[in-house]
Amino acid sequence: MSSPQTEEKMVLKLSQALNALLSKEGNKSITIMEVCGTHTVSIFRHGIKSLLHQSFKLISGPGCPVCVTDQSEIDAAISIAEREDSIVTTYGDMLKVPGSWSSLQECRAGGKSVKVITSVAQALDIARENQDKKVVFLGVGFETTAPATAAALIEAKKEKLDNFLVFCMHKTVPPALEALASSEEVSLDGFLLPGHVSVIIGLEPYRFIPEKYGKACAIAGFEPFEIMAGLLEITKQIIKKEPTVKSMYPRAVRPEGNLTAQNLLNQVFEPCNAHWRGLGEIPLSGYRLKPEFEVHDASVRLEIKEYASSPPPGCRCGDVLKGLISPIECPLFGNPCNPMHPVGPCMVSSEGSCAAQYKYDRRR
């Protein structure tokens, strides 16, 4: 294992190589989007942007699963929590996301049954212990967390645990990347692809990005030197005009991905259109439960209506997620919107770009 000093030298060496390439090209202007919340936090935490030439623009995209959850889905989740016959189980980041009239945290403070869990297996246990209640798991996340939800649904079906329900808000990354790659609102030269998602889906689902849209791509790990290596690889592709999909994270990402996880997803879910905060409805970018799992579908069992919800007034989380503005360009950033009193989800989630900038780079 290399020492922190060695890793720091590696980061500096890689950044110098990247900047030298840009200098050779007359300080060519390049815009790259990272689409992983863990990358976003690492970039802010380690000051990676400060090492890059000003002609190299690194912007955050829709890499935070809580942040991209649409306002209408947040309101639907709150409506479930307000029911007397239900127990809502959720990961902690969802608690403080403001809905149109309340939040899950406020529901819990008001005596409603909202339980914070760290795994969907805990939600199954709660369902086993409370068979007189409908135990609803809020399924939020990308391809990274969806396999665990699928495994829990398979187990619930096997046990005939019909009081275990899932409100499925899971989303898939490649369709969102296509929406961004084809967008006329923001001009991107390439993507730093998500490490965790790529562990599950592999390389093939991203091939359309260079082939159809001519944009460079690299998958990276989460240490600063791994991120910088990914940015250097993307820069090389752009300068050579040879866009492709390159994995700089081979110890974790196989070209074919995780076939076991993919099999779980295929057993339980089918693609559907999904609403993303800021990006709107993206075709076939979500998961819904297959008919054979309908007994566990909260949307069906609880007859959850679709809410026509709007973002909080003044909140520009949607524009941050599309890469149109940086967090500090939102007029609410810091005051009144901060982690203690968030207005939008990008300031709530630990992976949100607003929360990351507030914590590590507020002075900019």
Question: How does pLDDT run across 317-349, given as a tens digit for each residue?
Answer: 999 999 999 999 999 999 999 999 999 999 999
Instruction: Give me 317's structure tokens.
Output: 């989380």
What's the fold here for domain 12-60+173-181+190-247? Rossmann fold (3.40.50)
Q: Please, are residues 302 and 326 in contact by the beta-carbon 8 Å criterion?
A: no
Higher pLDDT, 309 or 218: 218
pLDDT band (50, 70, 90) for residue 364: low
pLDDT of residue 261: 98
In the prediction, which pLDDT does 32 show?
Answer: 98
Read off the tokens for 341: 């009193």
Q: How open is the CA angle 142-327-4, to the nearest 5 degrees? A: 75
- Please tell me the distance from the alpha carbon of residue 100 to that of residue 276, in angstroms, as a whole number: 16
What is the rounded distance in angstroms from the CA atom of residue 260 to the CA atom of residue 66? 25
pLDDT at 362: 67
Q: Which pairing describes strands 114-116 and 86-90: parallel, antiparallel, or unpaired?
A: parallel
Q: Which residue has the tokens 């899950």?
A: 104
Tally of CB atoms within 10 A around 267 = 15
Q: How far apart are CA 28 and CA 105, in angstroms?
A: 47
Both tokens of 238, joined, read: 């752009």
Name the pTM for this structure.
0.95
Question: How far apart (Å, rounded) are the C-alpha atoms in residues 30 and 109?
Answer: 47
- The model's confidence at residue 270, banded by pLDDT at 50, 70 and 90, is very high
What average pLDDT score do residues 138-154 get?
A: 98
User: Is the pLDDT at 1 greater than 60, yes or no?
Assistant: no
Residue 303 CB neighbours (<10 A): 7
CATH architecture entry for 66-172+257-301? 3-Layer(aba) Sandwich (3.40)
Instruction: Return residue ranges of the chain for CATH 3.40.50.11740.
Output: 66-172+257-301
Return the half-sphere exposure (C-beta side, CA atoms, 13 A cut-off) of residue 309: 25
Number of Cβ atoms within 10 Å of the Cβ of 28: 16
Q: Can you say whether residue 27 is alpha, beta or left, with left for phi > 0 and alpha for psi between -120 and 50 degrees?
A: left
Query: CATH 3.40.50.11750 in the chain, residues?
Result: 12-60+173-181+190-247
82, two tokens:
């307000």
Kindly state the DSSP code that residue 40 receives in the 8-state scheme.
Answer: H
Question: What average pLDDT does the segment 122-130 reach?
Answer: 98
- According to the model, what pLDDT value does residue 145 have? 97
